[in-house]
Amino acid sequence: MPRMQQITKTHRSPKYLAFIRRQPCVVSGSSPSVPHHTSKAGMALKGSDYLTVPLTPELHSELHTIGQESFQRKYNVDFSVCITRLLSAYVNRLEGNN
């Protein structure tokens, strides 16, 4: 029987990533920030650009060292809440409700 390959579509949005880069870090409130992809599409593949949070470069490095769950516990931050807030702000901006 032939082996089935899993097809995973990841959503890319350079405009949304630019928006994320303009946001302060969700932990420290500092800038500049870099987008951290909170989900993965598969082995070593970034997940959707819409599931990113802004972090300072230093905190982004720390996250990759200690892992996402440990990072969220250490800094008492819930990325799912942050993502919802960021997506809402982005949509409001697109709709001119800013």
Indicate the average pLDDT of the chain. 88
Residue 8 inside a domain? The answer is no
Residue 80's domain comprises 14-94
- The domain total for the chain is 1
pLDDT score at 65: 97
C-alpha span between 12 and 71 (Å, rounded): 25
Q: Note the pTM of the prediction, 2 decimals.
A: 0.84
Residue 86 inside a domain? The answer is yes
Residue 57 inside a domain? The answer is yes
Residue 5 has pLDDT above 50, yes or no: no
Neighbour count for residue 25 (Cβ, 10 Å)? 21
What is the per-residue DSSP string for 47-87? --GGGEEEE-HHHHHHHHHH-HHHHHHHHT--HHHHHHHHH
Residue 5 inside a domain? The answer is no
